Chains A and B, each alone.
Chain A
Amino acid sequence: AQSVSQHNHHVILSEAASLELGCNYSYGGTVNLFWYVQYPGQHLQLLLKYFSGDPLVKGIKGFEAEFIKSKFSFNLRKPSVQWSDTAEYFCAVTLAGNMLTFGGGTRLMVKP
């Protein structure tokens, strides 16, 4: 069965710092990869997704992620975080539209 690992459970950064959240998955076949974000008191919403093509994908709010197939990784990055990025971030994998397998989440706190 596939699994997803997020190595950082809690991250605290100051505004303008750069962010990188790690995500590794275990499945060796063709996968679709996602990052979801949950802002305090809000729904889970899609940040970005990778299906095929350019392994560097750009999402909303200045986030991007790079799919490195050889490393089974899909790390999330943002060059300069803002206080409003404080949220919980989830990496997820799906095989052709079946259920999402989520990582354990990373709580990001950005200090103003």
Chain B
Amino acid sequence: GAGVSQSPSNKVTEKGKDVELRCDPISGHTALYWYRQRLGQGLEFLIYFQGNSAPDKSGLPSDRFSAERTGESVSTLTIQRTQQEDSAVYLCASRLTSGTPTYEQYFGPGTRLTVT
């Protein structure tokens, strides 16, 4: 079946511009996560959506970052007034929460963001 998809795959933007990144989770996966991977570093958690519950925003690095999710499907991550330190690969993951819990997250290919 289809996996997690993300778009665009690459985004180059000028410092100060806003960007929007999209994630389509696996159908039926109610949990959705955003992570960031800066060059040479591990993945950092950004935000977590679970069904209709309030999202866990504890990983967002600043108020320039926000994310939304439409029901249990598409999510968008928005970065306002981008800075060079925002350059990273942004990864989305989804997880099935019904049935026997496995806690396995399935990752998308990521969006490589470069801020010039």
Q: Which residues from chain A sit less than 8 Å from chain B, CB to CB?
A: 4, 6, 32, 34, 36, 43-46, 49, 51, 90, 92, 94, 96-105
Contacts and interface: CB of A to CB of B under 8 A. Distances in A.
Interface centre among B31, B33, B43, by most chain A C-beta atoms within 10 angstroms, is B43
26 contacts: A4-B42, A6-B42, A32-B103, A36-B107, A43-B3, A43-B109, A43-B110, A44-B107, A49-B104, A51-B103, A94-B103, A97-B31, A97-B101, A98-B48, A98-B56, A99-B35, A99-B48, A99-B56, A99-B59, A100-B33, A100-B93, A100-B105, A101-B45, A102-B35, A102-B42, A105-B42
Nearest to B50: A97
Contacts of A6: 42
A53 B91 CA distance: 31
Interface in B32-84: 33, 35, 41-45, 48, 56, 59
A96 B50 CA distance: 13
Contacts of A99: 33, 35, 45, 48, 56, 59
Nearest to B41: A104
Interface of B: 3, 31, 33, 35, 41-45, 48, 56, 59, 91, 93, 95, 97, 101-105, 107-110
A21 B107 CA distance: 22
A42 to B, nearest CB: 8
B21 to A, nearest CB: 16
A77 B95 CA distance: 26
A104 to B, nearest CB: 4
B56 A97 contact: no
A43 B107 contact: yes
Contacts of B109: 43
A103 B59 CA distance: 16
